[in-house]
Amino acid sequence: MNMRHLRIMILIAVGWLLGPGPVGAAPLTWQAIYQKHDANPGETNVVFTFHLTNSSALEDVLITAVRPSCGCTTAKMPPLPWRLAPGAAGEIETTVDIRGKRGLVNKVVTVESSAGTNLLTLVINIPEGRARNMDLALADRQAVFRGECATCHVQPTVGQTGVALYQAACGICHESDHRATMVPNLAALNKPTGRDYWDGWVRKGKVGSLMPAFAQSEGGPLDENQIKSLADYLAGHFPSTASASATP
Ligand code: HEC
Ligand code: HEC
């Protein structure tokens, strides 16, 4: 071996010790750090499982934080801090709640560990159902109670009364952050209301609008007991706000 070779070998050894060489590289390897899913109609939760391995032969990896980018995404893994011995593998199961979302939805889960920061990317393609839903409802406002629509608009109401029924039957439209502009805020109606007012709207809705009729006599899903409990709840919790209110 001549001096030139020796010098090169020393340079390689120094580089190896100082990193970032192969050994200094992050030891956490991910099977698929970017995952995509095409949602089916009616699907409400999408689960992605991320597989990780500590590929270092020497060091433990300590996972200190796992942070989803929004409240609609949750992550399941062993309790933190989570220590992965050399060679050990594990998984992080993430779930995205896609109710009320559509189009291309992009979520990020940030994983912080002794090996650095990794970003897990979750992409969900949700069919643009809304325009179609609106068209169907404009043609027939009772369409929400039938077929595939019923999985969200009826099934959650079955057997419910009072506040739970309000949330399932009415809140789905009236309390949604993404609701269409023609859906009013029931807590801010500037008109006299009362038990009869609520009872009437629940039973009959409004012909020529997207507000359906919930009474069974009108082709709706709610029985008499449910309508009564709903009118009681609404009269008690959405007091008449109008200055013009004549309600004693
Ligand atoms: C996966 C659950 C789900 C299904 C299935 C569903 N909806 Fe909805 N719908 C919602 C949610 C959530 C809202 C509240 C607005 C939002 O968040 O997009 C809503 C709102 C509406 C509205 C109020 C207007 C608006 O967009 O705000 C109408 C009308 C409607 N849906 C009709 C329908 C019809 C008709 C069908 C079936 C063809 C249907 N929906 C199927 C969840 C669903
Ligand atoms: C499919 C979506 C949808 C659902 C479900 C729904 N609503 Fe509505 N609601 C509407 C729309 C749209 C309007 C506006 C109607 C119009 O054009 O005047 C409306 C209007 C109303 C109004 C009239 C408010 C005013 O301006 O005086 C009341 C009251 C009401 N809804 C109560 C309810 C109650 C109670 C429930 C549950 C039993 C419910 N809604 C469920 C869409 C919905």
From the CA of 107, how far away is ligand 2's center (Å)? 32
Total domains in the fold of the chain: 2
Averages of pLDDT over runs of 10 residues in the chain (248 residues) are: 56 47 68 89 87 95 95 96 97 92 88 95 83 81 91 93 95 89 90 94 96 97 98 91 48
pLDDT of residue 123: 92
Residue at 245 is within a domain? no
Domain CATH code at residue 69: 2.60.40.10
Domain boundary among 126, 146, 169: 126
Q: What is the pLDDT of residue 15?
A: 45
- Which pLDDT belongs to residue 247? 43
Residue 4: per-residue pLDDT: 56
* 173 ligand 1 Cβ < 6 A: yes
Q: How far is the CA of 62 from the centre of ligand 1 (A)?
A: 43
Sign of the Cα pseudo-torsion (71, 77, 78, 83, in order): negative
**CB of 36 closer than 8 Å to CB of 124:** yes
Q: Is 169 exposed, middle or buried (0-12, 13-18, 19+ CB in 10 A)?
A: buried
Q: What is the pLDDT of residue 9?
A: 57
Domain range for 91 is 19-126
Residue 178 lies in a domain: yes
Q: Distances from the Cα of 31 to the Cαs of 28, 35, 36, 77, 161, in angstroms?
A: 10, 10, 14, 16, 47
Residues 81 and 121 both lie in one domain: yes
**Same domain (yes/no): 186, 227:** yes
Among residues 106, 126, 146, the one where a domain terminates is 126
Atom 18 in ligand 1: residue holding the nearest Cα:
100
Length of the chain: 248
pLDDT, residue 18, reads 46
Cα 143 to ligand 1 centroid, rounded to whole Å: 10
The closest residue, in CA terms, to atom 19 on ligand 2 is 211
Decide which of 126, 143, 160 is a domain's last residue: 126
Q: Give the domain CATH number at 169.
A: 1.10.760
